[in-house]
């Protein structure tokens, strides 16, 4: 399994931007599925965006056009650029990987968007 550590969360105003980072403890080049999930207070965890090893991306409708997921295999990093933030984006954001055998989760980073 791979250990994942998120960073970059914090407080932003509506309309602002934040960039989340996810550092992996080993090479991610062979990991096909990487993703960001989020969980708001009182709600279930939801999928935000995914990226494959080939760079194919998918987004939840709620963030499409505002968030951009990317990965840097050379640095063992994944990112989530969040623009045009809304108060409803407030949540704990989690990094996730699936290497074909094991799923791994980070501990999360809090994102709070004020109106």
Whether residue 52 has pLDDT greater than 90: yes
pLDDT tens across 80-99, in order? Answer: 999 999 999 999 999 999 98
Q: What phi and psi, each to the nearest 5 degrees, are found at residue 18?
A: -145, 155
pLDDT at 1: 84
CA 43 from chain center: how many Å?
A: 17
Half-sphere exposure of 92 (CA within 13 A, CB side): 13
Q: Residue 105, exposed/middle/buried by CB under 10 A (0-12, 13-18, 19+)?
A: middle
Share of the chain above pLDDT 70, in %: 100
pLDDT tens across 20-47, in order? Answer: 999 999 999 989 999 999 999 999 999 9
Query: Mean pLDDT across the stretch 53-77?
Result: 97
């Amino acid at each position: 399994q791979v250990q994942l550590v998120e960073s970059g969360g914090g407080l932003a105003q509506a309309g602002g931007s934040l960039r989340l980072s996810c550092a992996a403890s080993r090479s991610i080049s062979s990991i096909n599925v990487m993703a960001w999930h989020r969980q708001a207070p009182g709600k279930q965890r939801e999928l935000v965006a995914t990226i494959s090893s080939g760079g194919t991306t998918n987004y939840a409708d709620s963030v499409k056009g505002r968030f951009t997921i990317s990965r840097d295999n050379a640095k063992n990093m994944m990112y989530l650029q969040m623009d045009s933030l809304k108060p409803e984006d407030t949540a704990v954001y989690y990094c996730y990987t699936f290497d074909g055998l094991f799923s791994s989760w980070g501990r999360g980073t809090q994102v709070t968007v004020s109106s």
